Chains A and B, each alone.
Chain A
Amino acid sequence: MKVLVIEDNEELAQNITSYLTREGYICELATNHFQAINKLNGFKYDCIVLDIILPDGNGLDILGHIKSEKIDSGILIISAKNSLDDKVNGLELGADDYLTKPFHLPELNARLKAIYRRKYLQGAYEIRFNEIYINTDNMEVSVNDSILDLTRKEYALLLYFLTNQNRVLTRQTIAEHLWGDYTDNLVNFDFVYQHVKNLRKKIVQADGKDYIETVYGLGYKLNTNK
């Protein structure tokens, strides 16, 4: 997947590109309006990560440019503004998703992949990982051809792990992915442990390998080398 990151803050841009590069994406960076327009006119990208506030022009203008030039890329807006107006404006102008700063890098990755799936694979996307098979169309998961009975949260969790393979996912990050705005009300993240435990149990029961491992003191990781 080829991604253009439009972000004026170089440190933040570096965070994003280094995470995505390790994920195997081809990343390019534009740190201002001018560069962004240049790159957009010259190359084709699958996805665009767009910071809505740029030093020389509002990110929404770029969005307008993308639309008027009929550039067919998935667009993920990142913004420090948690204001509803921006969110609505952005989505109305044709962005595919909206992420508020500060965000977790695994979350950004998951959102980008989701956009990619929706946009280029029309949602019908089969994820195959060794013996695990996921049909994102009907949200069906099977291990060794036997269908797993997963709850919605467990399904989301598995997808999240598969999107961020070999990455350490902290309980906080997982909680935020699964519960979003409601995470504030969780006193501790014991329930993340509960969900992960159930998911692992179900995979193992279907004779799948126990790929998900606990990283002591940190969280969990889907280890592909097992």
Chain B
Amino acid sequence: MKLIQKFTVWYLVITFVVLIIGGLLSYYSIKSEVDHEQVRYLRKNIDFTIKELNRGIIPDSLSQNRMEIGELAMSTPRTELLVTDTLVYTRYLRRKEPQLKVSTSQIINGHHYYISTYGAIVDTRDITNAVVKSISSIFLIMLVVTGLVSILISRKVLLPFNRTLKAMQEFRLQQKKPLQLMETKTVEFRKLNNFLSLMTNKALKDYQTLKEFTENASHEMQTPLAIIMGKLELLLESEIDDEQAKLIVSAHNAVEKLSKVGQSLTLITKLDNREFESQEMIDFSEVLNASLFAFQELIEMKSLSIEKRIQDDIKVKIHPLLSNILLNNLIGNAIRHNIKDGIICVKLTPTVFEISNSGDPLSFPAEKMFNRFIKNNQSNESVGLGLAIVKQICEQSNINISYDYKGNRHILRLSF
């Protein structure tokens, strides 16, 4: 439900309650006002009668329609003024109608007179009807007006808010563009915009710092590694014996590996930072075939057989660089973790890319498959970051990846 709709509904509910209370109040105030006027009118008549009686006019001549004068015993207690309701049969309506009756008893010229008169009171049902009618028409008008006005107002008042939402949706750290928000006079929106500007600017700054740090860390680490590597290579050519040579080669390999770990971690960080955003559709079939071709020699060298079922012209939305890394890691793994005379199956359809290879079962639980630095014992040479990178790439490219081990085969399935 939209904000403005919520406001409107609440407003209408409150209006409804208020109108009901207002209706009741106006009902009672109308009734009391009308009654009051009637009583005043009737009292005036009675006062007139009393005045006439005082002048000595005989009661019978004053008794007329609606005016009743009777004589009471002197011992009866006097009543000042009594207002009561009564039902009187009206010939006109042919039914008994509620009437307002005002009566008093006065001692005039030594007689104790009882004087009473009555007049029509407005039927409560009539008042109710009138009140309900007017209140409900007010409510109806409100309903229509509020509805229309809320739509119009929401467009105008909420415009800065909607613009902000849109700007936030389109905001990307990688673009390094600060958030452009609409000027507004509404305090809340201004607060929101200020807050968002501050937050996104900070995020941009942090992102930049992190990126620089990653790059610098990589740089600072690779240069010493390059020095070590060079020194070892120069050392190799000096006069050394076999034992020393072995030590140097081990050190050389370790440096190599360290550098790979650094590069892989840098890549993961870059993936985390989502530095490779791409809306580009690439021809996955072509990239896959090219990758397989590049690995052809390694596959043959390990005397592995390969089974390809690759459909042509399969387009996938993924950064070109990432697609290369992804495929190289997956195919590389399929070769590396294979057995002698094993097999690799590659299948590509418009929705699924599946690569499976023969191999021994995992030495760790399958859930840990995509964790960093997890590797099977037999291939200690690997760094253990390949599948972590694959997973990151898939997450970033909205590709679903799953692992299964069936019939002595490792199966990795990517669903687009």
Contact = CB atoms under 8 A, between A and B. Distances in A.
Interface of A: 9, 11-12, 15-16, 18-19, 22, 53, 80-84, 100-106, 153, 167-168, 170, 172-173, 179, 181-182, 184-188, 191, 194, 215-219
Q: Which 4 A-B pairs have the closest CB atoms?
A: A15-B230, A185-B332, A102-B226, A80-B222
A19 B252 contact: no
B227 interface: yes
Nearest to B256: A172
A129 B35 CA distance: 131
Contact of A105 (B221, B234, B295, B332): B234
B interface majority secondary structure: helix
Contacts of A217: 242, 245-246, 249
22 contacts: A15-B226, A15-B227, A18-B234, A80-B221, A80-B223, A81-B218, A101-B223, A105-B229, A105-B233, A153-B297, A168-B236, A170-B252, A182-B294, A184-B260, A184-B386, A186-B298, A191-B298, A217-B242, A217-B246, A218-B245, A218-B249, A219-B249
Contact of A185 (B222, B227, B298): B298
Contacts of A11: 227, 231
Interface residues of B, number: 48
A216 B249 CA distance: 11
Interface string B321-332: 100000010011
B343 interface: no
Interface of B: 215, 218-223, 225-231, 233-234, 236-237, 242, 245-246, 248-249, 252-253, 255-256, 259-260, 263, 266, 294-295, 297-298, 301, 321, 328, 331-333, 335-336, 379, 381-383, 386
B328 A185 contact: yes
Contacts of A105: 229-230, 233-234
A9 B219 CA distance: 12
Contacts of A185: 295, 298, 328, 331-333, 335-336
A15 B249 contact: no
A104 B227 CA distance: 10
Contacts of B220: 80
B218 A82 contact: yes
Given A15-B227, A82-B218, A83-B215, 4 more contacts: A18-B234, A182-B298, A185-B333, A191-B301
Given A185-B332, A187-B336, A194-B301, A9 B233 contact: no
Contact of A104 (B215, B233, B248, B301): B233
Nearest to A8: B223
Contacts of A53: 219
B245 A103 contact: no
B219 A80 contact: yes
Contacts of B298: 179, 182, 185-186, 191
A11 B336 CA distance: 36
Contacts of B336: 185, 187
Contacts of B294: 182
Contacts of B228: 102
B267 to A, nearest CB: 8
